[in-house]
Chains A and B, each alone.
Chain A
């Protein structure tokens, strides 16, 4: 089965800090993505990537950037964390016929 690993389960950061969320997949898939999950809002797509060094904005890219230097790794970057970025972040891979998710990183920005 596909394994998607997110580096941290819980993360606490201060306002203004630069934050890196890391995601690694073991299936050599070309596509990777980042969603954020908020109560009452469901999952919203932040960024996705078709291939190494390629990225596309999702529905809510503001305040975020991404990096994909290697096929298996897709990083989400918060250049200057803000309290409204406190959320559960889900990374994954796969085609739209089936997506595979990591177990999530709960980020708290204080």
Chain B
């Protein structure tokens, strides 16, 4: 069975500072990896995804993540955050191929401090 661990439940960071949100996963097969973002009072939307190929994935709003198979990690980074990045971020994993169940982590609340 697959699982996702988000190591930080809350991350406060000052505006224009860099941020890293950590995610580790567990699976016995090939996986797809995702980061979703949830702004207040909204549903989730896809930030970026790794399906195959280059391990460095770029997403919307200046975010990027790096797939590290040996460390089973998929950390999310942004070099300079804005107030508008305040949201909850969910790491997710699914087995590759066809329609497979997507398993989400518990979420990390990013609070950008002006």
Contact = CB atoms under 8 A, between A and B. Distances in A.
Interface of A: 4, 31, 35, 40-45, 48, 50, 58, 90, 92, 95-99, 101-104
Interface residues of B, number: 25
25 contacts: A4-B43, A31-B99, A35-B104, A40-B9, A40-B106, A41-B106, A42-B6, A42-B104, A42-B106, A45-B103, A48-B101, A90-B43, A90-B44, A95-B98, A95-B99, A96-B95, A96-B98, A96-B101, A97-B32, A98-B46, A99-B46, A101-B45, A102-B43, A103-B42, A104-B42
Interface string B52-92: 00000000000000000000000000000000000000100
Given A101-B44, A101-B45, A103-B42, A96 B107 contact: no
Contacts of A99: 36, 44, 46, 102
Nearest to B6: A42
